[in-house]
Amino acid sequence: MKAYQKKGRLTNGMGKIEQYRTILEKDVFQSDEPHWRRISKNTITLFQVLIDQDLSDLILVLEHYPRYREWVCEHFRYAYSYSEQSADIDAASELLFMGEPFFSKQFVRNVVRKLPSISEWSLEEIKEFGHYILERHFEWHPIIVNHYCDAVSTYTQQQGLHPLQVITLMSPIKKIKRQKTYDYEAEDRDAVLDIPYMN
């Protein structure tokens, strides 16, 4: 199984959520407070850990505790890079669907930054992944699909490949109709900010 493929269901029953209930049930959610005072320090730490991981458990928590969805999307403004762990693509896609009412450029950019990069993959792995994109593109969020179609296209342009190799890599990508979606590339004050900050 490839690193980018699902290892199992994102929501695997009530068993796994129990490990988070102790913190979440004790939290006093104060929706009218500023970001850093809206939830307890323990809950902030929990969400920072979940964002730091592959996002699968984050989705599990947000499915059971939807009141935190807006806070998590806002918190991605501060969550630049706690580790080098990539996101599970399906979990990242689900987070984008959940987060659509609360989109900001920095939230979307930081979700995209957590996606597995194809830059270290072999030609054969990218070829297989192109077919995987085609297989999954109706289920993934358009931002995810567009990102990976662009990534494969950029790879073919930069690697000096034989024309037949380019055709092979781009064949599944050309079967995918690009969807217009949220523009997170436009410059804003956070566009090139790469360190966490609080305000």
Q: For the chain, what is the mean pLDDT?
A: 88
Residues 92 and 98: their CA atoms lie apart, in Å, by 10
Q: To the nearest whole percent, how much of the chain has pLDDT over 90?
A: 75
**Section 24-34 average pLDDT:** 92
Residues 152 and 72: their CA atoms lie apart, in Å, by 30
- Residue indicated by tokens 């996101």: 87
78 falls in which pLDDT band (50, 70, 90)?
A: confident
For residue range 85-115, list pLDDT tens digits in order: 899 999 999 999 999 999 999 999 999 999 9
Inform me whether the pLDDT recorded for 13 exceeds 60.
Answer: no
Helical ranges in the chain per DSSP H: 14-26, 41-52, 56-64, 69-75, 89-99, 105-113, 123-136, 142-158, 163-173
Q: State residue 198's pLDDT score.
A: 34
Residue 169, classified by CB atoms within 10 Å of its CB into exposed (0-12), middle (13-18) or buried (19+), is: buried
Name the residue among 190, 184, 192 with its Cα closest to residue 150: 184
The answer to whether 197 and 106 are in contact (CB under 8 A) is: no
Inform me whether the pLDDT recorded for 80 exceeds 80.
Answer: no
Domain layout of the chain by residue ranges: 14-113, 118-173
Q: Which two tokens stand for residue 40?
A: 């307890």
Q: State residue 25's pLDDT score.
A: 94
Query: What secondary structure letter does DSSP report for 179?
Result: P
Q: State residue 185's pLDDT score.
A: 84
The answer to whether 93 and 115 are in contact (CB under 8 A) is: no
Q: Which two tokens stand for residue 174?
A: 């050309």
Residues 194 and 105: their CA atoms lie apart, in Å, by 14
Higher pLDDT, 17 or 198: 17
Q: Which two tokens stand for residue 140?
A: 């993934």
Query: What secondary structure letter does DSSP report for 177?
Result: P
The CB density around residue 122, as the number of other CB atoms within 10 Å, is 9
**Section 38-56 average pLDDT:** 94
Inform me whether the pLDDT recorded for 9 exceeds 90.
Answer: no
Q: State residue 7's pLDDT score.
A: 53
